[in-house]
Chains A and B, each alone.
Chain A
Amino acid sequence: GENVEQHPSTLSVQEGDSAVIKCTYSDSASNYFPWYKQELGKRPQLIIDIRSNVGEKKDQRIAVTLNKTAKHFSLHITETQPEDSAVYFCAASPSGGGADGLTFGKGTHLIIQP
């Protein structure tokens, strides 16, 4: 089955700096890669996603890049703010479209230092 590795497990950055979280996946058939943000005790919420026919996608301060050849994708957050502090999860869809569920990385705890 699919295996998703996520790094780092904890990331501390100064407010205003950029943060980058990286994930690798194992199943070359995967074609959907979402990123979720989870605040303490809350539900995960989708912040951005990318499909395999696109190399990069941007939404204001958040961007995701995908390298299908190397089987890795990354989340980039620019101009970080205190409200960006949370746990971020990457995921991959082994069957395409997420129909068979998602395989998640173990998460990155992002800490924004004032």
Chain B
Amino acid sequence: SAVISQKPSRDICQRGTSLTIQCQVDSQVTMMFWYRQQPGQSLTLIATANQGSEATYESGFVIDKFPISRPNLTFSTLTVSNMSPEDSSIYLCSVVVGSTTDTQYFGPGTRLTVL
């Protein structure tokens, strides 16, 4: 497994501002993912972030809104840009440990409220 931390754990932000969420892993991992978890809904994959390449975004998510950095094998950031109340959600990073991409381990999440 892996120990994953996220910063901040929670934040309350104003409409129109941006927030950068950090994800730190205690070991080197190739694949990292960013998810959104809204109340009553399933975890939704935002993008896959592999070190050394551009992030791959899922349908409905764009780089201008959710820019991602992956400077090394233990760290990634997700920025939620020009926020609106609809962006209020829990944002989670996950990493793959093992030989398949199915064994994903999650960070504790960042609870974002946009006013």
Tell me if chain B binds chain A: no
**Residues of B bordering A, CB below 8 Å:** none
